[in-house]
Amino acid sequence: MSDRIGILRDGRLVQEGPPEEIYDRPQSEFAATFLGDANIFRGDATGNGIRLPDGTAIAAASGASLSAGAKASCAVRPERIQISTGSATSEAGYANTVRGQVSKRIFAGNNSTYFVDRDGQTLKVIVQNTGAERLAEGQEVMLSWSPESTVLIAA
């Protein structure tokens, strides 16, 4: 990859900068999903994140500055999410949590990709295969991640 990249959409520059900056701090849903995979949550801005339609709060440590109530979304990369059966405690700082059900697992040697259904949305989680428990399709799980791994995006 180059030192700087630009992402164009319909002939317009959406975001420009170093690849790591665009990957870690996308400024739009398009940029978030153009450069790698991203889970997108949509709701209303709360000042430091969003509130999902079901009332779940998602905290974001970076991204757009939005007034409370504005339509917004949050992007979270699949490898930044911790998945557990819910009986395990999440790591300190993993303030964002949602529950779901594993719909599919793809084993790929050093990692596994889990697809988790939550209220009609399929979330993607990538975990290293460290010999820990492998989760089965249909299993209820808890997903957790830190606000530092969450980017607030204007709708």
Residue 1 has pLDDT above 80, yes or no: no
Has residue 59 got a pLDDT over 60? yes
In this predicted structure, what is the pLDDT of residue 66?
92
Mean pLDDT (the chain) is 93
Cα dihedral 35/71/11/22 (nearest 10): -30
Residues sharing a CB contact under 8 Å with residue 5, sequence separation 6 or more, in sequence order = 16, 17, 18, 19, 22, 35
Q: What number is the average pLDDT over the span 37-63?
A: 96
More confidently predicted of 62 and 1? 62
Burial class of residue 148 in the structure, from the number of CB atoms within 10 Å of its CB (0-12 exposed, 13-18 middle, 19+ buried): middle
Assign 3-class secondary structure to the chain. Answer: CCCCEEEEECCEEEEEECHHHHHHCCCCHHHHHHCCCCEEEEEEECCCEEECCCCCEEECCEECCCCCCCEEEEEECHHHCEEECCCCCCCCCCCEEEEEEEEEEEECCCEEEEEEEECCEEEEEEEECCCCCCCCCCCEEEEEECHHHEEEEEC
* pLDDT tens-place string over residues 125-141: 999 998 777 899 999 99
